[in-house]
């Protein structure tokens, strides 16, 4: 029987709110079983880019990353944010270890080819070193991954954190029974983004297609749901989207995705 593994991706709005971040990390730290955390930091990267007078460009929820933007993202994601999260988890008794995709060749990617849009130094995941990550987990360590990958030729690449979480989940599903959580400030997928009462509790592939066509799913929610269904199609047991309260297993106020 496979051991259970929770892979949790934390959203930027929670990361940027010190009280919400503390609450999330407290809930994450006491989750039962093996766990792994993935974070980005897009809002912090955007704020620093603007201070440095660098143009911020987004297409369908994904950041266009030129050389200067990549420097900012690396500093913010793998520097300040990752180290801060690890330190706070250590204070909560969770033995966390900071990781990027370059560490032990954890996540290897290739620079996205230019088709309709030139995304710059953005990586598409090609391979996950699940043996190394399993080794960390078996040593009772909690990996904390930033949204930075590499091409094994010395080039770092910005990779969507939702994609990284799904890629880790798909790879580790061969070894563990994986539940993938996307935590952010909303209760889940909402028909009206401003009304919590419009929560959609269950979305299957058919409903997903309808919501996509009607424009209910857009912007940053696009990569979340694209990656969620991709994960489910690759043996990931369950995918949930919602607020951190769902991590306790006692809340039904989130969206569960099914095939």
pLDDT tens figures, 204-227: 999 999 988 888 887 777 878 888
Q: Walk me through the domains of the chain, giving residue ranges and CATH numbers.
A: 4-185 (3.40.1160.10)
Q: At 125, is the secondary structure helix, strand, or coil? A: strand
Instruction: Give the distance from CA 38 to its chain's centroid.
Output: 5
* 156-158 sheet: strands from edge to edge: 123-128, 107-111, 148-150, 156-158
**Which residue from 182, 192, 189, 220 is spatially nearest to 203, judged by alpha carbons?**
189
Q: Which of 57-66, 117-126, 178-187, 206-215 has the lowest mean pLDDT?
A: 57-66
Share of the chain above pLDDT 90, in %: 66
**Is the separation of the CB atoms in 125 and 151 below 8 Å?**
no
Q: How far is CA 228 from CA 162, 164, 168, 185, in A?
A: 9, 11, 12, 18
DSSP character for 215?
T
pLDDT tens figures, 160-209: 899 999 999 999 999 999 999 999 988 889 988 888 889 999 999 999 99
Band (147; pLDDT cuts 50, 70, 90): very high
* pLDDT for the residue numbered 57: 78
Band (61; pLDDT cuts 50, 70, 90): low
* pLDDT for the residue numbered 248: 85
Band (98; pLDDT cuts 50, 70, 90): very high
**Which residue from 132, 141, 221 is spatially nearest to 171, judged by alpha carbons?**
132
> How much helix, strand and coil, in percent to the nearest 5, is found in the chain?
40, 25, 35
């Amino acid at each position: 029987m496979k051991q259970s593994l929770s892979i949790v991706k934390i959203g930027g709005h929670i990361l940027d709110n010190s009280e919400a971040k503390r609450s999330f990390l407290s809930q994450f730290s006491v989750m039962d079983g093996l766990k792994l955390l993935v974070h980005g930091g897009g809002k912090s990267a955007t704020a620093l880019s603007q201070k440095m007078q660098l143009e911020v460009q987004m297409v369908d929820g994904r950041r266009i990353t030129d050389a200067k933007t990549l420097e900012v993202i690396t500093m913010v994601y793998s520097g300040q944010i990752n180290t801060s999260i690890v330190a706070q988890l250590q204070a909560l008794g969770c033995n966390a270890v900071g990781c990027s995709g370059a560490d032990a060749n954890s996540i290897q990617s290739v620079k996205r080819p230019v088709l309709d849009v030139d995304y710059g130094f953005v990586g598409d995941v090609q391979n996950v070193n699940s043996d190394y990550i399993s080794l960390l987990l078996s040593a009772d360590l909690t990996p904390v991954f930033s949204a930075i990958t590499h091409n094994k030729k010395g080039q770092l690449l910005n990779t969507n954190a939702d994609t990284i979480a799904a890629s880790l989940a798909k790879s580790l599903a061969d070894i563990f029974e994986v539940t993938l959580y996307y935590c952010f400030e909303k209760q889940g997928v909402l028909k009206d983004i401003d009304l919590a009462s419009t929560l959609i509790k269950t979305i299957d592939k058919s409903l997903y297609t309808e919501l996509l066509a009607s424009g209910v799913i857009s912007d940053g929610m696009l990569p979340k749901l694209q990656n969620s269904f991709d994960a489910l199609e690759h043996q990931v047991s369950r995918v949930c989207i919602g607020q951190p309260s769902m991590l306790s297993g006692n809340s039904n106020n989130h969206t569960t995705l099914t095939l």
